[in-house]
Amino acid sequence: MSQPSAPRRTPGRPPRISREEIIRTARRIVDEEGVAKLTMRRLASEVGSTPMALYHHVRDKEELLVLLLDDYATRTLRRPELPADPRERAVAAATAIHEALAACPWIVEVLTADDLMSTSALWFVEQIVDGLAEAGLSPERAVHGYRAIWYYTAGEIVVRTTAARRRTDDDRATYREQVFAGLDADELPRLAQVADRWAPLTATDTYQDGLRALVHGLLAARPA
């Protein structure tokens, strides 16, 4: 007995899609596979539409990434209670940024392009710049200070995430571990002294310690 043929799809316009559906699907792609896998063609296929239909909602991939940044900032960034001390205010705002980005490292990859940003996150930038300015830096040097804090924050997340991914993907001893196991104590006495503890020492979360040292250093170096 022959099987009934599958119903044929009626040609016509692709199903209507919303911007919310586009953002939700794009977020799933980058969460699971990374930013490089997010293309307009791939996204259109995932939502059952065409690339041309997507352009009615987003101009291009760059605008889509900005929408993703705003979506993530709105959902995850929480404004902390700010201390009265302006230096600690800058530390609190930077720490909030770090905590949000550490939970979603692909965001850092997008932000390091240095020309994309989430307007929803500008409140945090304002607190850092204002804290540094109130603590004694000129507006220009406060912006430079924010940039140094951002580079430190982004770099810390990228390095830590990449190292964790490598340890997950490959349980063999890393090249660094092999090198440190055979250090010459006469040539490198300090490193040899802590060689067997290097991995746990460098894996310790010292972000806030480094952040405070950076903030205090920026303020100590201000012109008289």
| pLDDT tens readout for residues 190-204 | 999 999 999 889 889
Residue boundaries of the structural domains of the chain: 17-76, 79-220
Protein fold of 17-76: Arc Repressor Mutant, subunit A (1.10.10)
Architecture of domain 79-220: Orthogonal Bundle (1.10)
Distance CA 164, CA 94 (A): 22
Band of residue 186 on the pLDDT scale cut at 50, 70, 90: very high
pLDDT at 62: 84
pLDDT at 169: 61
The pLDDT tens digits for 61-102 are 888 888 888 888 888 888 999 999 999 999 999 999 999 888
Tokens of 145: 């200070």
- Mean residue pLDDT across the chain: 85
Determine contact, residues 87/56, Cβ cutoff 8 Å: no
Tokens of 53: 């239909």
